[in-house]
Amino acid sequence: MTGGWLRPAVFGAMDGLVSNLGLMSGIAGSSAAASAIAVAGLAGLAAGAFSMAAGEYTSVASQRELAQAEVELERGELRRHPSGELEELTARYVALGVTPKLARQVAGEISRDPEQALLIHARDELGVDPRDLPSPLLAAASSFAAFSLGALLPVLPYLFGATALWPAVLVALLGLFGCGAVVARVTARSWWYSGLRQLAVGGAAAGVTYGLGALFGTAVS
């Protein structure tokens, strides 16, 4: 029941967690000051959230415009070739097991209302509901909020005075475990398996970027 919004929200939060934890770990590995790590985390949060929102807006807007264009093509077909569309709808009902006589009768009744006919044809042929197309603004706002929430977690310890990386790593890994456990609600995996998997992914990202930060920090110092 919650798969429509829960999955993208949780994965957006996990994206923010992993990417910002990795960024901050890389900065910490270069022996930067705590203030520099905090600033990098906040910059990563802002840049990532706006990038995610812009990408999601563009993607969903393009998807919506494509669906609207296809719906308008179908509207034109209904207007130019009503008899052909009637036969097509009749054939669809016959294929579903309705008797030809009843199928034609039902298709005829539906075709009396152009908007209802368009709705049925769009659903059957295009797989879209013209009345329920995705909102680019809602998608962008949701993506922005989810990413920001995830990216904020590893920054919080620094904002409350932490001077070492380990509190940020601990908070981020706990957040990843929680996100993984929540995702298990819409998958076939157990909550502990999904949680541990996300914890391992985040831990690996933090470890690799910390090592790279230490390597590059030594190389350029």
Q: pLDDT band at 44, cuts 50/70/90?
A: very high
Question: pLDDT tens digits, residue range 64-95?
Answer: 999 999 999 999 999 999 999 999 999 999 99
> Which residues have C-beta within 8 Å of that of residue 121, sequence separation ≥ 6?
74, 77, 78, 85, 88, 89
Q: Is 198 exposed, middle or buried (0-12, 13-18, 19+ CB in 10 A)?
A: buried
Q: Region 121-147: what's the mean pLDDT?
A: 89
Contact 173/204 with Cβ under 8 angstroms?
Answer: no
Question: pLDDT tens digits, residue range 13-30?
Answer: 999 999 999 999 999 999
- The C-alpha atoms of residue 30 and residue 157 are separated, in whole angstroms, by 19
- The C-alpha atoms of residue 23 and residue 144 are separated, in whole angstroms, by 18
Helices (H) and strands (E) in the chain, counts: 9, 0
CA-closest candidate to residue 2, choices 192, 176, 184, 137: 184
> What's the length of the chain?
221
Residue 132: the pLDDT is: 87
Structure tokens at 124: 């059957």
Mean pLDDT, the chain, rounded, equals 89
Model pTM score? 0.82
Task: State yes or no: pLDDT of 4 exceeds 70.
Answer: no
CA-closest candidate to residue 158, choices 23, 11, 10, 12: 23
Structure tokens at 58: 């563009």
Contact 116/85 with Cβ under 8 angstroms?
Answer: no
CA dihedral 3→21→44→195, nearest 10 degrees, is: 0
- Domain that residue 196 falls in: 5-220
What is the CA 32 to chain-centroid distance, rounded?
33
Task: State yes or no: pLDDT of 118 exceeds 80.
Answer: yes
How many domains does the chain divide into?
A: 1
Share of the chain above pLDDT 70, in %: 95
**What is the amino acid identity at position 54?**
A
**What is the amino acid identity at position 149?**
L
